[in-house]
Amino acid sequence: MKVFFRKLKRTKLSVRLIYYFVFLLFLVSYILFTKSLLLLNGIENVIRIIVIIFLGTLLLIYWFLDLLLLLCKKYKTVIILSVICMLISCVCIIGSLYINKAYSLLDKITEGEFTTYTSDLVLMSGTEFKNESSFKVGIINNDTDIEGNILAYELINKENIKNISITKYDTYFEMLELLYSGDLNGIFIGDGYVDTYSTYEQYESIAEQTKIQFQYSKKMETKEVIENNHSNVTEPFTMLLIGVDSEKSTLNFNSGFNSDTLMLVTFNPKTLSATVFSIPRDTYVPICNKGISSKINSASAYGGACVVKTVENLTGIPIDFYSMINFQGVVDLVDALGGVTVEVQEPDFKKPYNGQVCEQNSKRQFGNQIICMNPGLQTLNGEQALAYSRCRHLYNLSDFARIQHQQDVVEAMANQMKSMKSVNDFYAVLEAISNNMVTNMSTAQLLSLYNVFKVAVIDGNNGSMINIQKTFLTGYNLNMIVTNISRTMPVYTYQYYESSLNEIKDALNITLGKKKPTWIKTFDYSINETYEPTVIGKSYLSTSKNEALPNFVGKTITEAKEWCAARNITVTTVEVSEGNPAYNSEYPTGTVVTQSALKGTLTSTLTNIVLGVNAEKKTSASSSSSSSSSRTKETSTSSSTSETTKQTQVPTPALVEP
């Protein structure tokens, strides 16, 4: 050993230093590159192992061979081999940086171990806070709700506002309604309340009408919404895509948000087929486990867990993953892809914009910031793609036209992925996704999508990258009272047909491989008719419909009774005499002037109703004799019994504005 070191010491110092430096550089770069390659679990495993073994072998060869050449004083050869190994080391370092960057961007998309939650004490902008018992504040009646309950109590302790009067409520909508009516002075609610509720007509100016009196934030362990056992995505899976409209730079799936778009996608990586169920945001459904029914987009007020459970209850299909994307992300992603090719549908209402399709921009600005497109096949940039995805007012089908546009844009983006030709294109797409999206997929699961993407690119060069099957939920419009949105005013809802939903559910399960398809063995075609492919769920109708109570005021009592009798609703009539505040002199005798149930009440929830009817006008003589005593006539009818009339002392029903 001493002889070896003496010989080594007699070699040329400069060449020896070069050898030491390059060997150390090669060793460090090999370790870094190997660690980076090991991160890519599931991606080209054989190739990764071969590369690691090959580079390790080169390192050993360089260490031994160059040392031998150095001892033999073959300095020129040592330098040449050192330069080659230095270049290999640089490639390893650059490769490691690229891999680590991609991995960190993917890791950024996944839901973190910890989330910052924020609770606000919100008042109307003109209200002055008082730390006293007369100051009434609402809090959500759910001790598992982090922002509306857990942190709210911590906020109370932090700000020492224990003198206020606190009442628990089941829904945020009820608290907001009481806040606006003045029955509550303040409410505890999550920090994203403006984004969540500003889409509702009665709260569209909530940002200006309210103020945050106190705010409390805390970093806590992220609540797990969905448990799944998928180690990778080589097997069929379900994904809930949630499009939100938020000005915040961060997305919080566990807090309240505005779910402007809901798409349930079932995907089979073996067949490269997907079925997309776009759920209209106004679809009337039971809301998770709240014991209420409402528009499906109102589920997002209770957080992502409620949205997932609501969709699962609607479809009967367990959801494996969710992806939540901000609309700004659509702009960035489409631009990163270099645009998407879409057939822009011709508008039904051409007058507003001279036949163009126009919509507000990503910042919801109109005026000179409006985004316009001509109908027809074209390449859309990010702003145009988002505007087209939002546009509904120019089409007869309204929200369903928008759903179709969104599906077209999503399909176009999926197909455009295969056009990426450089590393820079890949990183641009990753940057756009990571800045505007959050998912419960692990980084390993996201990496396993590589194999799906590779097969899709190879097999999809001559057509669509993925076979996407679209659906259409058939139904009808109904204005009705939705108690968790408004207890006094009917709002628009979309009522679906069960037969249509069942066909969509079958298609979703067929893609997952849980149900076998029914093959169509006959086909008719006429050259005189334009062929239109069958859209799943679109052809089903039903005679069974939900109905809402109409406004009976101004109608005759006979009309009201006939309508109610056909629906098994018992009618109790009360005469409303002159002098009663509900009496309406403009209506003739026998006209309904009040009703005990509001217009828009779902008839399936009613068994009886009290109607106030204009009594016959009294003469002056009878008026004086009736001043000492007042009698009211009541009549009850139902679909199963004949009309009976009896005299009884029944109070006039309270005046209700239908």
Q: What is the chain's Cα-based Rg?
A: 34
Q: Which residues on neighbouring strands pair with residue 38, listed in sequence order? A: none
Token digits for 108? 């950024």
Is 357 a domain residue?
no
pLDDT value at residue 608? 95
Share of the chain above pLDDT 70, in %: 87
Residues 6 or more apart whose Cβ sits within 8 Å of residue 23 = 62, 63, 66, 85
409 closest CA partner among 562, 276, 520, 511: 276
431 & 538 share domain = yes
252 & 331 share domain = yes
Domain boundary among 221, 253, 271: 221
- Sequence-ordered strand ranges (E) for 131-173: 136-140, 165-169
Q: Hunting for tokens 């309904």 — which residue is that? A: 592
Helix (H) or strand (E) holding 278: strand 273-278
Furthest CA-CA distance within the chain: 140
pLDDT value at residue 644? 35
* 395-438: pLDDT as tens digits: 988 888 888 898 889 888 888 887 777 778 888 888 888 888 88
154 & 290 share domain = no
253 & 325 share domain = yes
What's the count of helices (H) and strands (E) in the chain, helices before strands? 17, 24
Domain boundary among 74, 109, 144: 109
Instruction: Look at residue 454 and tell me whether its pLDDT is greater than 90.
Output: no
**CATH (domain of 149):** 3.40.190.10
Dist CA 595 CA 611 (whole Å): 5
What is the arrangement of strands in the sheet containing 592-595, beginning at the earlier edge strand? 592-595, 608-614, 570-576, 633-638, 641-647
3-state SS class at 620: helix
Dist CA 220 CA 116 (whole Å): 6
The predicted model gives 87-100 an average pLDDT of 95
* Residues of the domain holding 195: 114-221
Asked if 593 contacts 613 with a C-beta cutoff of 8 angstroms, the reply is yes
**CATH (domain of 275):** 3.40.630.190
Dist CA 106 CA 541 (whole Å): 44
Token digits for 530? 């334009």
Instruction: Look at residue 211 and tell me whether its pLDDT is greater than 90.
Output: yes
pLDDT bucket at 460, cuts 50 / 70 / 90: low
Instruction: Look at residue 623 and tell me whether its pLDDT is greater than 50.
Output: no
Checking phi first, is residue 5 left (phi over 0); if not, alpha (psi -120 to 50) or beta? alpha
Dist CA 375 CA 344 (whole Å): 5
Domain boundary among 193, 221, 249: 221
pLDDT value at residue 643? 39
Return the minimum-mean-pLDDT range out of 158-172, 258-272, 380-394, 515-529: 515-529
* 603-614: pLDDT as tens digits: 998 999 999 999
Which of 154-163, 268-277, 409-418: highest mean pLDDT? 154-163
Q: Hunting for tokens 């009211």 — which residue is that? A: 632
pLDDT bucket at 622, cuts 50 / 70 / 90: very low
Is 98 a domain residue?
yes
Residues 6 or more apart whose Cβ sits within 8 Å of residue 428 = 336
Dist CA 138 CA 147 (whole Å): 13
Residues 6 or more apart whose Cβ sits within 8 Å of residue 616 = 589
pLDDT value at residue 313? 94
Helix (H) or strand (E) holding 492: strand 486-496
pLDDT value at residue 92? 95
Is 508 a domain residue?
yes
Instruction: Look at residue 206 and tell me whether its pLDDT is greater than 90.
Output: yes
Instruction: Look at residue 656 and tell me whether its pLDDT is greater than 60.
Output: no
User: Which has the higher per-residue pLDDT, 115 or 98?
Assistant: 98
Instruction: Look at residue 642 and tell me whether its pLDDT is greater than 60.
Output: no
Is 457 a domain residue?
yes
pLDDT bucket at 456, cuts 50 / 70 / 90: low
The tally of domains found in the chain comes to 4
Token digits for 590? 């026998």
119 & 137 share domain = yes
198 & 247 share domain = no
Task: Compute CA distances 11 → 80, 358, 375, 548, whole Å.
Answer: 17, 77, 78, 98
529-568 per-residue burial string, b: 16 or more CB within 10 A, e: under 16? eeeeeeebbbebeeeeeeebbbebbebbbeebbebbbeee
Q: Hunting for tokens 């056009």 — which residue is that? A: 419
* 307-334: pLDDT as tens digits: 999 999 999 999 999 998 887 788 989 9
Asked if 194 contacts 164 with a C-beta cutoff of 8 angstroms, the reply is no
pLDDT value at residue 638? 42
Dist CA 215 CA 508 (whole Å): 43
Is 606 a domain residue?
yes
pLDDT value at residue 366? 80
579 & 520 share domain = no
Q: Hunting for tokens 């169509």 — which residue is that? A: 520
Question: Could you say which DSSP state residue 628 is in?
Answer: S
Q: Which residues on neighbouring strands pair with residue 343, listed in sequence order? A: 377
- Sequence-ordered strand ranges (E) for 38-146: 114-124, 136-140
pLDDT bucket at 227, cuts 50 / 70 / 90: low
Report pTM. Answer: 0.79
356-370 per-residue burial string, b: 16 or more CB within 10 A, e: under 16? bbbbbbbeeeeeeee
pLDDT bucket at 235, cuts 50 / 70 / 90: confident
13 & 48 share domain = yes
195 & 244 share domain = no
Is 259 a domain residue?
yes
320 & 424 share domain = yes
pLDDT value at residue 646? 34
Is 342 a domain residue?
no
Instruction: Look at residue 67 and tell me whether its pLDDT is greater than 60.
Output: yes
328 & 449 share domain = yes
pLDDT bucket at 188, cuts 50 / 70 / 90: very high
How does the average pLDDT of the chain come out, rounded?
85
Is 549 a domain residue?
no
Q: Which residues on neighbouring strands pair with residue 116, listed in sequence order? A: 219
Residues 6 or more apart whose Cβ sits within 8 Å of residue 277 = 263, 264, 265, 315, 471, 473, 504, 508
pLDDT value at residue 619? 58
188 & 254 share domain = no
Label the pairing between strands 321-326 and 237-244.
parallel
Q: Which residues on neighbouring strands pair with residue 645, listed in sequence order? A: 635
